[in-house]
Amino acid sequence: MTVSADKPHLSREHMLDLLKQMIRIRRFEDKCAELYTQEKIRGFMHLYDGEEAIAVGVIPVLEKRDRIVATYREHGQALVRGVPMTKVMAEMYGKQEGCSHGRGGSMHLFDRTVNFHGGNAIVGGGLPLSVGLALADHIRRNDIVTTCFFGEGAVAEGEFHESLNLSALWGLPVLFVCENNLYAMGTALALSESETDIQRKAACYRIASETVDGMDVVAVEAAARRAVHAVRESGKPYFLECRTYRLRAHSMFDAQLYRDKAEIESWRTKEPIIRFQAWLQSNGMIHLEDVPRIEAEVDAEIAEAVAFAEAGTWEPVEQLTRFTYAESATPADR
């Protein structure tokens, strides 16, 4: 584990919170996978297994007023940001009590109350949006940072380059967080990029950048603190590449023909939860009973979320076309 000069408070309480958030995402998604096989959850579902340290390292560093733009692999971001697990699970079910009224599902979690501007399922599609959110805050002199999560697959899209250029050209407060898990669906980074050192692309646009071990939650948090501080102080964009690995399939339909089991196993040994737990134990920062206690708390929360989703209701078909357009002035229109 990295212990750098920029490291955040290494208090036991904070460390346990980081651990709990990662366990929370992992176990929530394990439950989702189980519910998927039971056909409670349908459609495309993309799990974050192995990448949890990124959302957990970055998002708590943000202020409540800051904004988040996420991808279709965004359960972790939503949970850490404070979208209630009950509402996330209800959304997975497609129930109207879900955080997007059941209309988005796994790939489109939204929550205005925590400035969570959605899971965008067009690779690269969220980047221009984050530039625009930051443009509005820049024009209005709002002290707000927009954090945009995307995978390394998005780097091949034109929207990535347009967005980096615009944000740097206009000096906009965007934190770009690239979750580099080495595979764009089934295509390895080396097969899709002529330059695989991604943060160098940010440098081309004169955007300050940093690469961090995305499976080391303390390192991610430390880097995120530097990054968010830089964006807030300068009003300019910052690029944080988090190197990680997706331990599960791309989605529930993926037979993983494009990579060896041995490769996956080798990454398993680096996965963020076990690693962090071992590090905490070796430093005497957690007690033997801490992990079972955290797991029990998380399991209780998950059970509550499942019960909430099960008890949820289907939006009446009569409401199918509601909110294609605004009906009257709502908070969304101000």
Partner 1 sequence: MQQQRVQSEAIETTYREAVREAIRDAIKRDERVFLMGEDVGRYGGCYAVSKGLLAELGPERIRDTPLSESGFTGAGIGAAMAGMRPIVELMTVNFSLLALDQIVNTAATVRHMSGNQFGVPLVIRMATGAGRQLAAQHSHSLEGWYAHIPGIKVLAPATLEDARGMLWSALQDPDPVLIFENVMLYNMIGTLAADAGPVDIDKAAIRRPGRDISLITYGGSLWKTLDAANALAAEGIEAEVIDLRSLRPLDDATIMTSVNKTRRAVIVDEGWRSGSLAAEVAMRIVEQAFWSLDAPIGRVCSEEVPVPYPSHLENAAIPQVPKILAAAKAAFGAP
Choice between 166 and 231, CB closer to partner 1: 166
- Minimum distance of partner 1 from residue 14's CB (angstroms): 31
Report the relative pairing of strands 183-184 and 187-188 from DSSP bridges: antiparallel
- What is d(CA 128, CA 164) in angstroms, rounded to the nearest whole number? 9
Beta strands 208-213; 146-151: pairing state: unpaired
How near is the Cβ of 325 to partner 1 at its closest, in Å?
A: 5
Residues that bind partner 1 (CB under 8 A): 67, 96, 98-104, 108, 110-112, 117-118, 120, 122, 125, 127-137, 139-140, 158-159, 162-163, 165-166, 169, 321-326, 329-334
Residue 48, CA distances (Å) to 7, 14, 163, 215, 307 in order = 25, 22, 25, 12, 23
User: What is the Cα–Cα distance from 330 to 237, expressed in whole angstroms?
Assistant: 31
What is the smallest separation between the CB atom of 104 and partner 1, expressed in angstroms?
A: 5
Write down the least CB distance from residue 106 to partner 1, Å: 12
Report the distance separating Cα 97 and Cα 307, nearest Å: 12
Q: Are 211 and 271 in contact (CB under 8 A)?
A: no
Closest to partner 1 by CB, 107 or 198: 107
Closest CA to 215 of 240, 179, 250: 179
CA of 43: how far to CAs of 46, 116, 184, in Å?
A: 10, 22, 19
CB of 157 to partner 1, least distance (A): 9
Nearer to partner 1, 134 or 273 (CB): 134
Of 144 and 223, CB closest to partner 1 = 144
Nearest CB to partner 1, comparing residues 159 and 301? 159
